[in-house]
A and B are shown apart, each in its own frame.
Chain A
């Protein structure tokens, strides 16, 4: 297990290098000259050149890249163009709000997805199964900003049960978490169902029944643990989708998270903020998938890393 963890940790290195490369070149691939933008539209040629010099844009790419990575490793992601403050401190608090939102949404989608999936699989082709699967299809195909707006419309405006926007109190959490978690719940429900249906026909399930195990235990003890194995992978991947979805959800609910902040920064062409945020979110994604792989290993005794 330790060897596995260490090996898996080593495998994140090329991914992290890849991420930093992409983020770094993003700056250069985006149309427009960063120096021009930072210096302002009315800056003359000399001022732009001076800015370019200050930003180190005249250095060869590898020098710039090395500088970027060493700085980033020390927590220095540059300064915001707009506010002039350090990117790391601008991102800081907002990052945790987004993490919180993503975390609760993931929990919700796992909880609902698993239960719905199991119920669906064990009552295959029943009315309930059909209902859940249709619902899941809706959950999947609904754009989440639209779902968010609908939730606001009904639960906040029409009935006035929950607050329209903001972040912090449990009441404020509810609507954004449902908005963001629904698609994930639908995917997990479908995955659990198909995985469960496959496992239920395995020989070892028949063995369990032949032993006289109660049906409830056959499902929740013998089948579920095996069925969870592919579901875990989906949860990891889903987390990435969730981070993307956070942008819209935060915008709809006016939550001061990283997602919304990035959108703002893109609009303002605040490159250092965009760069820093993407880097931080990518690292979070890498980290979550590392955790997923470790738990995958705990569930599945047979896995070998290749």
Chain B
């Protein structure tokens, strides 16, 4: 029974990683940029949720939607201000800019409200169900279902809408897409908006599930989500979901064997192994470089 319990723990953790990883992977897929500021959007989402619930007394779902909306705007602003003018610059320049944006947001938030942590208000009824000796809290069920719903909506947007088609086209070949009359800039902004909204949702979910939020909370989940995205194959949406869940379960299994101090190391060992043996990720196809 202990193992089923651990699996439940791992999937709850993994679904949060997956939500953040989706944003990474979408942005990478479309402009080949690893957006290191993504973890900070996640943090801002958590704080917006916190103020919406604690300050204005909203309940969980409105707070979630509000955080998603604000984060979508912030994501677009970041893209317009920081990345757009670097579109034709070297990739390393854009990457360094992303790190700069990330630090700017972290310390900007610290400057505004200080570095002290905040405790999330209890917004969800926390009941514990016992099924075959396994304790599953209602919160982890809700988190899992919200994550799954958001992922289904995302799949729908990407595969069934015009905008999704444009996204896929720009991702495949931006120049050709432009020739076909697709507004590339708008499509990229839209991608940032969706990715950031998912990060914002992950932030609110993280806050309600783990209670503690602080301005530097985005760093480690951001890195872990990056590992998840690479694990699944960066740029591939189902890969990010599976990568996130696998990473969550692996971390939990490592702890379950009594090596809890190795948990973070395990995540990064996975990153190294994937980069050495299958750089395109679990879901990636090996593409031959054309000379």
Genuine A/B complex: no
State the A residues within 8 Å of B (CB).
none
